[in-house]
């Protein structure tokens, strides 16, 4: 890619850069799956963002968008961390808590993901963390398990919207030369698990009933640790919401605006981002109104360029049709890609909560079997697993840029290894061996999720990206709902759920090799 300085130095350099980006994006979609007018305008915006470069605005966005990854992993971990003490206090079947949470995650993924294609990215991006924080604080005062499960479902509506929206927001502002950072953003996902485990360790270990398996009365006064934990995590979410809403001004995505026919606003946003970065942009409204510069004929139906109020209203009404979903299955290859992604997300959505959401409970029971099942040891081990996941997220960002490996190869290898290490953990005969296998699992699963969360939005075009993210996230959450239902009728102290989870990861890993699009080195549309 040309540097921003060289790119602005001459018209020929600018044109050369445009042709280069165009060639890259055409390699992603090798058929007519994407409307040519949309493709041309998206490339113009890609050029403008590349001209601006990776600046202060994008780095700040890397931080505040990372809060979404942080929240997405933190809250499933939270319910796993509080599972034993709330079972002790309320004497109920623990999987009901996970069931309530996963129902909320499903609603949140579908509502916020699809909504971001309807009313834009900004409101969805700004509201989700606040919704999570408010209801998590309320859950800390739950008088019974029904209230706790219900509030967990509501806070999860906020959590479920983070990744479908935040990945789209970040991808639509970052220049093509730095799209790999979408994978590196998963380091926030690892931090979510780490911070949650670090805070839970002293609170739950020191302010919980002395037993990890309910054998007698466990009054609220002796079991305040999980409540303190929810108060702390809910307060943290409100703090992150404050940073997003009041300290960072998120502009609406220029590609989203362009896809809605609001080219003037898209141009204004690009210039605002450039000014924020201390640069200028050569983009003008004239560029977006004349896509013929990219070989697309200008003698198109007027409605394709109509930006009048009546046309805007007509487009708003059309958004509620199935056009965004149909666009994701417009051609055989695009339909194959979307279908495989849905299957992969669904399988991982079943395997991950079946194993990881109950890992604290499993470690506690196996620890007792090995003679060291104290609450302290259980949460210490959880912290260790969380620390191991951080370098995995960083490694993912490097691996997806490797030739012959890319996103598909990295996703396949890491998913298969996740299953292998889960299956291997069932051979453990000591708590240290069990911890070792789980450390390996934590490392490779963070690579897997880092790639999965980045690859999906990269292969969806901007105008349908929120809907595509919502589809795969909804599949993930629907199958996630199945996990606690299975757990209600399974003995979690045995290795059966572990075998099932490991086998599912193996299948998902091999399916990843069948994905038709490889986004490595290409600008997203």
Concatenated DSSP letters for 7-34?
Answer: HTT-HHHHHHHHHHHHHHHHHH--SS-S
| Domain range for 404 | 56-252+327-512
Q: What is the pLDDT of residues 90-135, one digit of tens each?
A: 888 877 898 899 899 989 888 887 777 778 788 888 899 999 999 9
Q: What is the pLDDT of residues 415-446, one digit of tens each?
A: 999 999 988 887 777 778 888 888 898 899 88
What pLDDT, on the 0 to 100 scale, is given for residue 4?
A: 37
Confidence of residue 243 (pLDDT cuts 50, 70, 90): very high
Residue 276: CB atoms within 10 Å: 16
Query: Is the C-alpha dihedral spanning 303, 305, 311, 317 positive or negative?
Result: positive
Burial class (CB in 10 A: 0-12, 13-18, 19+), 402: exposed
Task: Report how far apart, in Å, the C-alpha atoms of 420 and of each of 73, 354, 442, 443, 500 are.
Answer: 22, 16, 12, 13, 12
Please, which residues have CB within 8 angstroms of residue 355's CB and are 6 or more apart in sequence?
Answer: 422, 497, 498, 501, 502
Better-predicted residue by pLDDT, 74 or 522: 74
Residue 62: CB atoms within 10 Å: 20
Nearest to 481 by CA among 223, 104, 47, 117: 104
Q: Which helix (H) or strand (E) holds 302?
A: none
In this model, does residue 289 exceed pLDDT 70?
Answer: yes
Mean pLDDT of the chain: 79
What pLDDT, on the 0 to 100 scale, is given for residue 363?
A: 57
Residue 24 within any structural domain of the chain: no
Number of domains in the chain: 1
In this model, does residue 454 exceed pLDDT 60?
Answer: yes
In this model, does residue 346 exceed pLDDT 70?
Answer: yes
**Strongest mean pLDDT among 47-61, 250-264, 382-396:** 47-61
Confidence of residue 271 (pLDDT cuts 50, 70, 90): very high
Nearest to 525 by CA among 178, 69, 24: 24
Residue 246 within any structural domain of the chain: yes
What pLDDT, on the 0 to 100 scale, is given for residue 130?
A: 94
In this model, does residue 264 exceed pLDDT 60?
Answer: yes
Confidence of residue 171 (pLDDT cuts 50, 70, 90): confident
Q: Kindly report which listed range (51-65, 74-88, 146-160) carries the lowest average pLDDT score.
A: 74-88
Query: Is the C-alpha dihedral spanning 446, 79, 67, 519 positive or negative?
Result: positive
Residue 306 within any structural domain of the chain: no
Confidence of residue 505 (pLDDT cuts 50, 70, 90): very high
Ranges of H-type helices in 400-495: 406-425, 431-459, 462-488
Residue 182: helix, strand or coil by DSSP? helix
Residue 40 within any structural domain of the chain: no
Global pTM reads 0.76
Better-predicted residue by pLDDT, 389 or 20: 389
Confidence of residue 373 (pLDDT cuts 50, 70, 90): low
Residue 271 within any structural domain of the chain: no
Better-predicted residue by pLDDT, 402 or 415: 415
**Strongest mean pLDDT among 330-334, 473-477, 481-485:** 473-477
Let me know: does 419 contact 506? Beta carbons within 8 Å: yes
Alpha carbon distance 218, 86 (integer Å): 9
DSSP 225-237: HHHHHHHHHHHHH
Better-predicted residue by pLDDT, 518 or 167: 167
Percent of the chain with pLDDT over 70: 79
What pLDDT, on the 0 to 100 scale, is given for residue 27?
A: 40
What pLDDT, on the 0 to 100 scale, is given for residue 324?
A: 64
Residue 269 within any structural domain of the chain: no
What pLDDT, on the 0 to 100 scale, is given for residue 11?
A: 43
Q: Average of pLDDT values for 459-467?
A: 75
The CATH number of residue 406's host domain is 1.20.1250.20
What pLDDT, on the 0 to 100 scale, is given for residue 64?
A: 94
Confidence of residue 372 (pLDDT cuts 50, 70, 90): low
Nearest to 396 by CA among 383, 381, 415: 415
Q: Kindly report which listed range (13-27, 149-163, 344-358) carries the lowest average pLDDT score.
A: 13-27
Alpha carbon distance 455, 163 (integer Å): 12
In this model, does residue 292 exceed pLDDT 60?
Answer: no
What pLDDT, on the 0 to 100 scale, is given for residue 524?
A: 60
Residue 39 within any structural domain of the chain: no
Confidence of residue 210 (pLDDT cuts 50, 70, 90): confident
Let me know: does 186 contact 491? Beta carbons within 8 Å: no
Burial class (CB in 10 A: 0-12, 13-18, 19+), 142: buried
In this structure, what token pair is assigned to residue 254? 């220029």
Better-predicted residue by pLDDT, 81 or 431: 81
Residue 119 CA from chain centroid, whole number: 20
Residue 80 phi/psi, 5° resolution? Answer: -70, -40
Better-predicted residue by pLDDT, 57 or 213: 57
Q: Average of pLDDT values for 227-238?
A: 96
Let me know: does 362 contact 431? Beta carbons within 8 Å: no
Q: Average of pLDDT values for 346-369?
A: 68
Percent of the chain with pLDDT over 90: 26
Residue 222 within any structural domain of the chain: yes
């Amino acid at each position: 890619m040309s540097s921003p300085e060289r790119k602005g130095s001459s018209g020929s350099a600018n044109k050369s850069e445009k042709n280069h980006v165009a060639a890259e994006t055409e390699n992603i979609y090798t058929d007519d799956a994407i409307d040519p007018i949309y493709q041309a305008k998206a490339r113009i915006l890609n050029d403008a963002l590349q001209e601006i470069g990776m600046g202060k605005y994008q780095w700040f966005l890397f931080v505040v968008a990372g809060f979404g990854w942080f929240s997405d992993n933190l809250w499933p971990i939270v319910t796993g961390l509080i599972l034993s003490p709330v079972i002790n206090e309320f004497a109920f079947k623990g999987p009901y808590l996970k069931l309530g949470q996963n129902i909320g995650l499903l609603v949140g993924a579908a509502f916020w993901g699809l909504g971001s294609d309807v009313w834009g990215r900004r409101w969805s991006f700004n509201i989700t963390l606040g919704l999570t924080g408010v209801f998590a604080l309320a859950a800390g005062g739950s008088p019974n398990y029904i209230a706790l499960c219900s509030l967990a479902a509501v806070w999860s509506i906020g959590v479920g919207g983070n990744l479908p929206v935040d990945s789209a927001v970040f991808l639509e502002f970052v220049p093509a030369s730095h799209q790999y950072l979408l994978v590196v953003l998963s380091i926030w996902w690892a931090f979510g698990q780490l911070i949650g485990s670090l805070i839970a360790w002293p609170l739950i270990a020191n302010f919980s009933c002395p037993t990890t398996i309910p054998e007698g009365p466990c009054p609220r006064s002796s079991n305040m640790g999980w409540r303190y934990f929810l108060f702390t995590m809910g307060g943290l979410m409100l703090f992150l919401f404050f940073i997003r809403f009041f300290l960072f001004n998120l502009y609406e995505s220029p590609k989203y605006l362009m896809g809605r026919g609001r080219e003037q606003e898209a141009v204004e946003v690009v210039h605002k981002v450039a000014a924020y970065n201390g640069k200028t942009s050569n983009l003008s409204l004239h560029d977006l109104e004349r896509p013929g510069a990219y070989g697309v004929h200008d003698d198109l139906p007027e409605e394709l360029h109509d930006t009048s109020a009546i046309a805007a209203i007509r487009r708003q009404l059309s958004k509620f049709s199935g056009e965004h979903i149909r666009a994701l299955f417009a051609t055989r290859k695009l339909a194959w890609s979307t279908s495989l992604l849905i299957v992969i997300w669904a399988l991982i959505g079943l395997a991950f909560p079946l194993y990881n959401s109950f890992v604290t409970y499993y470690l506690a029971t196996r620890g007792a079997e090995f003679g060291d099942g104290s609450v302290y040891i259980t949460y210490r081990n959880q912290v260790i697993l969380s620390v191991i996941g951080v370098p995995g997220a960083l490694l993912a960002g490097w691996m997806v840029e490797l030739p012959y490996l890319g996103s598909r190869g990295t996703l396949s290898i890491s998913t298969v290894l996740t299953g292998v290490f889960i299956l291997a953990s069932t051979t453990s005969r000591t708590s240290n061996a069990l911890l070792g296998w789980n450390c390996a699992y934590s490392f490779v699963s963070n690579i897997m999720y880092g790639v999965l969360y980045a690859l999906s939005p990269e292969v969806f075009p901007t105008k349908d990206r929120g809907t595509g993210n919502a589809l795969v996230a909804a599949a993930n959450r629907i199958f996630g709902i199945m996990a606690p239902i299975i757990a209600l009728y399974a003995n979690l102290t045995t290795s059966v759920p572990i075998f099932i989870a490991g086998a599912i990861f193996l299948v998902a890993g091999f399916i990843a090799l069948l994905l038709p699009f490889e986004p490595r080195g290409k600008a997203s549309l």
